Amino acid sequence: MFDVMPARRGSGSLKWDQRPELRPFWVADMDFHSPPEVIEALKKRVEHGVFGYAVPHDGLIESILDYLRKRHKVSSSPDEIVHLGGLVPALSLACRAFAGEDESVLTCTPIYPPFLHVHRDANLSLTTVPYIMSEGTWTFDWAGLEQAVTPSTKIFLLSNPQNPLARVFLEEEIRQLAAFCERHNLILVSDEIHCDLILDEARTPHFTALRLPESYTDRTITLLSPSKTFNIAGMGYAYAVIPDQKLRKRFLAAQGHTLAEINCLGYYSAEAAYRYGEPWRLELLSYLRSNRDLVTEFCREEIGSITIPDIEATYLAWLNFQQTTISHPASFLEKEAQIFLSDGRYFGAEGHARLNFGCSRSHLEEAISGIRQAIEKGA
Ligand SMILES: Cc1ncc(COP(=O)(O)O)c(C=O)c1O
């Protein structure tokens, strides 16, 4: 099923149509059809033929509460769920809701680029602390964070599992981060969009911020969506779980009239994904594991000079070219191999490129041979 590449060029795809002269391995969507059940649910809703303003229907709410209960062992209620058109708007909203002018946001790098820009929507400043490598694993620089935080810091933005490092943070790390936020009176915004893409869950289980002790509830917002896992990001549906009423009110109040209505197809695709998508998800993870192994072996065993972290989650490989002679890998790969990777500098790290391996094996092999070719030329 995943070996078949859908023809996406000319379909209005950001990934394929932005630079049609290049083979795309950049933006985080996958070159796979969504689960058949999602496609069926969309067809059914389209056949209804009326597309007026929508509200989250009961089936969607039920599927979200079921998902939270089964997957995360969290019992929630409909009023704790804030429906949104995307996670990035939610990050921006959090900045507007929980900090004021002259205050600041804290995050760790490298990081998915919007984390480095949303503070501007609220005229805030941004402080970043690089992740550090400890015993072969990327982790928080606790001393660096203590040094960087100030009384004007109000928000910590977390990506877990981490994009682009593909790390699933341990329960201890999340607890330590929550304690750090409490000590410095920060709101913790936990973006967990990739949490259903954990490649070996027995080894690296996800610890959601929703499972932190109750004492942290009044400072924690968790952002979720089936969008990455089921390849429905273009449908524009995500949600925040905010159990604390006061916090939720502040978050909602910051919306003003800035957000568009969520469309009915977003709601229906999300419901179908959560309700029926589990067998498909398990097959997807198995396919992604093989792709992950292929990229990892290529970098470690064949090339050697490109370093790659252990990819615990996501379909994203963070390639470090700093031991090669190639200083701007993404532009070099564009020029020399006509392949389009995400440039590390947008994530806050030069000398890196992010490779999206959410595609058929044969397409991934094209990326690998492109990198091989570019390395030979750059050597
Ligand atoms: C960590 C993270 N957050 C948010 C998003 C995008 O979310 P949305 O499309 O819902 O705004 C992405 C997309 O790659 C992501 O990796």
pLDDT per residue as tens digits for the range 113-152: 999 999 999 999 999 999 999 999 999 999 999 999 999 9
Q: What's the pLDDT at 334?
A: 95
CA of 88 to the centre of ligand 1 (A): 6
Q: Tokens 């936020």 appear where?
A: 181
The CA distance from 174 to 211, in Å, is 10
CA of 250 to the centre of ligand 1 (A): 22
CA of 117 to the centre of ligand 1 (A): 13
Q: Tokens 């609220």 appear where?
A: 122
Angle at which helices 329-337 and 361-378 pack, to 10 degrees? 100
Q: Which of 92, 163, 165, 259 to mutate to test the pocket of ligand 1 (most atoms within 8 A of CB)?
A: 163
Q: Domain 14-35+278-378, what fold?
A: Aspartate Aminotransferase, domain 1 (3.90.1150)
The CA distance from 238 to 5, in Å, is 26
Q: Which of 228, 235, 237, 316 to mutate to test the pocket of ligand 1 (most atoms within 8 A of CB)?
A: 228
Q: Domain 51-276, what fold?
A: Aspartate Aminotransferase; domain 2 (3.40.640)
Q: What's the pLDDT at 71?
A: 96
The pLDDT of residue 378 is above 80: no
User: Using an 8 Å Cβ cutoff, are 29 and 233 in contact?
Assistant: yes
Q: What's the pLDDT at 377?
A: 80
Among 346, 281, 270, which Cα is nearest to 315's?
281
Mean pLDDT of the chain: 96
Q: Which of 30, 83, 84, 88 to mutate to test the pocket of ligand 1 (most atoms within 8 A of CB)?
A: 88
Mean pLDDT calculated for residue range 356-370:
97
CA of 161 to the centre of ligand 1 (A): 12
Q: Where in the chain is the domain with CATH 3.90.1150.10?
A: 14-35+278-378
Mean pLDDT calculated for residue range 65-90:
97
Q: Where in the chain is the domain with CATH 3.40.640.10?
A: 51-276
pLDDT per residue as tens digits for the range 329-343: 999 999 999 999 999
The CA distance from 138 to 111, in Å, is 12
User: Using an 8 Å Cβ cutoff, are 91 and 137 in contact?
Assistant: no
pLDDT per residue as tens digits for the range 268-295: 999 999 999 999 999 999 999 999 999 9
The pLDDT of residue 216 is above 60: yes
Number of Cβ within a 10 Å radius of residue 202: 6
Mean pLDDT calculated for residue range 63-73:
97
Among 240, 234, 241, which Cα is nearest to 269's?
234
pTM above 0.95, yes or no: yes
Q: What's the pLDDT at 379?
A: 57
Q: What's the pLDDT at 63?
A: 98
Residues 6+ apart with CB under 8 A from 183: none
Share of the chain above pLDDT 90, in %: 95
pLDDT per residue as tens digits for the range 221-252: 999 999 999 999 999 999 999 999 999 999 99
Which amino acid is present at 335?
K
Share of the chain above pLDDT 70, in %: 99
Mean pLDDT calculated for residue range 158-182:
98
374 confidence band (pLDDT: 50, 70, 90): confident
Buried b (16+ CB within 10 A) or exposed e, 223-258: bbbbbbbbbbbebbbbbbbbbbeebbebbeebeeee
Mean pLDDT calculated for residue range 23-33:
97
Residues with CB under 6 A from ligand 1: 28, 86-88, 112, 159, 163, 191, 193, 225, 227, 233, 238
260 Rama class: left (phi>0) / alpha (psi -120 to 50) / beta: beta
CA of 87 to the centre of ligand 1 (A): 6
